[in-house]
Chains A and B, each alone.
Chain A
Amino acid sequence: MKRRRLLQSIAALPALPAAAQTAPAPAPEFPKLAETAADAVGQPRGRLFGRDQMAALEKLADLLMPKAGDRPGAVEAGAPAFLDFLIGESNAARRKLYQDGLDRLNSESARLYSKPFRDASATEAKAILAPLAAKWTYAPPADPFARFLKEVKDDLMQATINSRVYAAAVSRRSRSAAGMGAYWLPLD
């Protein structure tokens, strides 16, 4: 049956009896169901960084991008776990930069304070993070540790600002939808 004739025949049907009219309306044939993204329901499983590396990254996240008032920091935004995933997906050079950088945080802390970086105080950490006080240059620093610190600072900030909890906090404050954009679906 042609679509038009089908619609005409439906329109021509007599009204249903009162009892039938109170029955629940049938669900639409192509419903739009509510969905919830994976990172809103689950905790990402570790991918690249070892336990000590992850502990150092979490400490670093708290130092570099702390919670400020009602704005979540990198830890609240799950940035360390996200970077574990992102860097795990990246090329070997970037993975090495990160892994060596996190190891260096721990080894420097052990050398200076005889404890892992996660247990260093903010004042103690400042000495280790001294390369972040260097003046900006276009070329990345030659020292891999300094380069790691510059990159992780940028990455933690972006991972935080682009997170669900950060967007929610900003939206609550400004009543505007934060971080929305037009997404291009794959072209056929």
Chain B
Amino acid sequence: MDPFLLEALLNGVLLGGVFALPVLGLNLIFGVVDVIWLCYAELVMVGMYAVWFLYTQAGWPLFLAFAICLPLVALLGGLLHVLVVKPLLSAPPINQVLATGGVLFVLQGAATLIFSTDFRSLGVEMPPIELGEVFVSGTKLAAFIAALVGAAVLWAFLKFTYVGTAIRAIARDREVMPLMGVDPRRIYLIASAAGGALAGLAACLLVVQLDVHPFVGLSFGPITFMICVMGGLGNMLGGFLAAFLMGLIVSVGGFYGSTDLSYVVAFLFFILVMFFRPRGLFTR
């Protein structure tokens, strides 16, 4: 096999791991609260700025900056739920989506005001790792492993804790769960904060690979929404698999053509999936 193609495939898998975290977070929120956070990628952007600021400006150690980023974005997710989503819980879905779209503008505007539109780089790079014939970026591999760990922690949380069980139950049946003594408002808040924490983790993994600027969310936000829908909104496993599929399409498409055009192929693929499998690729 052509080593360059092999490298593209490998990079696709690694890219899929990066897509997977925001996809899981969005799916968690959609499955539980039944709302699409249009500003999800912008929460990731806030986390990226937090890490960048603490590490390069305040001079903190990187792992400490990471450790702050997670709860910070989780808090932001909780705030977003309380301030914006909660008053709109009984409104038509499109109003909810547009309100979170307003938050998208707020976060982009705030980032522009505070940090200007300059591209900020963390300047951290791990040496490439040789795997047989191919070289893999150490940073990407580390991010991939962290993403898998994050996904595993989420899975364990949903599977083995009481709150996790309640979250899964409420995602399955919104009407009955309140009768079983589960307070949906609390579960909504917890799910939103957990979704925020996943955005925070995604921010830690992305900030070592991408430069931060106020519009960085637009570069991976749209594709994460598409991955979610392709996997079936609210379907965690489907979203996880679809993330790797999209990662492979983008990476291998970039190998045969250009990166720009590989995104066009990925988006076209998404549109076709919507026509033929509108409930997602992996629905039973």
Q: Do A and B come from one complex?
A: no
